[in-house]
Structure 1
């Protein structure tokens, strides 16, 4: 169905730029495209359902393009559990999107990410190096939360980033498992968007225009990621978490 947007060349260029920045972030670190792109898209006259479905499609595309290079590093038992738990959480997220004010969810997530990122950064700086989560049962709450936040706001990466950080995954396992999870959860989330009527004709048009930018961002992100020293990766990761937390606190448009 049409979303009623007047699609101009200026709108297309700005939307493509927002998608490119988010796709670049995801291909570099394995997450962050929705948190980066959605505030930028909120500045444009694009309805929220169109934005959600556009970023869902873009995120799925990036995961599809980057997952194969890191497949050998994927923690497969955890990935399977995450997929099941994500599927369980998706219906709750669709309900959350309809009932809960977005500002409450995004602000709460922003405050949490800032606190968690600062805590992790300080802990790492003081060389306190001990995993906090050992049992795989912890996958359940993080996976369900991923499904809920993914179907509602495309924030399915936030719980998995926190989980991977607390498991102290290596950079290769972190990025590989995240991208594999995003490929599976992306299919589920995008399917949920389609079945719930979130897809719009305008979202598909903007996604089509964004495809070349997504391809370029994926290639550039992989290139940069391979050149990030492993010892510095966690520091960059914690900084990214803090920055993304502040981005979640940025007021969004009312569209």
Structure 2
């Protein structure tokens, strides 16, 4: 696949993924990583998604800065720093096929947890634990959202505050992960092309998703997004075992 092909696919994938992020607050990586892993290697897919995610969540964090639970965001972010080295180790040790399987199966399990709304106690202990797991998932699979989502669901936050807090947590985690990826040399022309194309698709995707977020009940879109994520995971799984 040429760089032009990679860029075209990344543009489409991240436009859709940004829309999912705007609607649910957490859909970017869950959509983008499995789909990008079909056209580039899984490690590159994780790196690309994290870099594009840093741009998206940075912009969204600034926009949603009035709708953030700051103490909660600080706990989730600080704890994530403990999990990130474990995720980086996993990313380095697993071969391409094994990482593809981990991403696909992990996504199915995480979507399942979100579908059944696994109840978690509200409190600092839950948030610290979710932060550690989230950090590990970010640097190994790029999909750090579900643990954070589950911990915030326990707080029963209003949709706008829920989304705003998520963006701040993701932005801080993505920043640390991107620095680590660059330091370890996980950047090449393919990744750079995909990142630039993905960033170009973010504004349109967020604009569409934000309009949907404001127009229709969140629960309706939650079902649509989770259904889409399930299909995405199945596609990634079939590619991994092919």
Same fold (TM over 0.5): yes
**For residue 5 of structure 2, what is the aligned residue in structure 1?**
10
In 2, Cα distance between the equivalents of 1:165 and 1:234? Answer: 13
Instruction: Note if contact 1:56-1:154 (Cα within 8 Å) is conserved in structure 2.
Output: yes
Q: Tell me, yes or no, if structure 1 residue 38 matches structure 2 residue 33.
A: yes
Counterpart among 15, 22, 25 of residue 17 in structure 2 = 22
- Larger-Rg structure: 1
**For residue 93 of structure 1, what is the aligned residue in structure 2?**
87
**For residue 218 of structure 2, what is the aligned residue in structure 1?**
233
Question: How far is the alpha carbon of 1:105 from its aligned partner?
Answer: 5.3
> What is the CA deviation profile of residues 99-138 of structure 1, one whole-angstrom value per residue up to 9, with x for unaligned ones?
3533145414413432x34433xx9xxxxxxx74222111
Q: Give the secondary-structure state (helix, strand or coil) at the position aligned to 2:154.
A: helix
Question: How far is the alpha carbon of 1:215 from its aligned partner?
Answer: 2.0
TM normalised by structure 2 equals: 0.86
Question: How far is the alpha carbon of 1:41 from its aligned partner?
Answer: 1.8
Q: Tell me, yes or no, if structure 1 residue 224 matches structure 2 residue 212.
A: yes
Instruction: Note if contact 2:44-2:191 (Cα within 8 Å) is conserved in structure 1.
Output: yes
Report 1:160-199 matches (<5 A): 160-199=148-187
Instruction: Note if contact 2:137-2:144 (Cα within 8 Å) is conserved in structure 1.
Output: yes
Question: How far is the alpha carbon of 1:50 from its aligned partner?
Answer: 2.2
Report 1:31-70 matches (<5 A): 31-44=26-39, 46-70=40-64
> What is the CA deviation profile of residues 182-223 of structure 1, one whole-angstrom value per residue up to 9, with x for unaligned ones?
111110111121122222222112222333211222223223
> What is the CA deviation profile of residues 130-159 of structure 1, one whole-angstrom value per residue up to 9, with x for unaligned ones?
x74222111111000110101111111121
Question: How far is the alpha carbon of 1:69 from its aligned partner?
Answer: 2.6
TM normalised by structure 1 equals: 0.82
Instruction: Note if contact 2:33-2:45 (Cα within 8 Å) is conserved in structure 1.
Output: yes
Q: Which runs of 5+ in 1 are unaligned?
A: 124-130
Counterpart among 179, 195, 209 of residue 197 in structure 2 = 209
Counterparts in 2 of 1:197 and 1:10: CA distance versus 1, 3 Å = closer
Q: Give the secondary-structure state (helix, strand or coil) at the position aligned to 2:222.
A: helix
In 1, Cα distance between the equivalents of 2:22 and 2:179? Answer: 22
> What is the CA deviation profile of residues 27-76 of structure 1, one whole-angstrom value per residue up to 9, with x for unaligned ones?
222111122122222332x2223222211111111111211232222111
**For residue 119 of structure 1, what is the aligned residue in structure 2?**
116
Instruction: Note if contact 1:23-1:58 (Cα within 8 Å) is conserved in structure 2.
Output: no
Q: Which runs of 5+ in 2 are unaligned?
A: none
Question: How far is the alpha carbon of 1:238 from its aligned partner?
Answer: 5.3
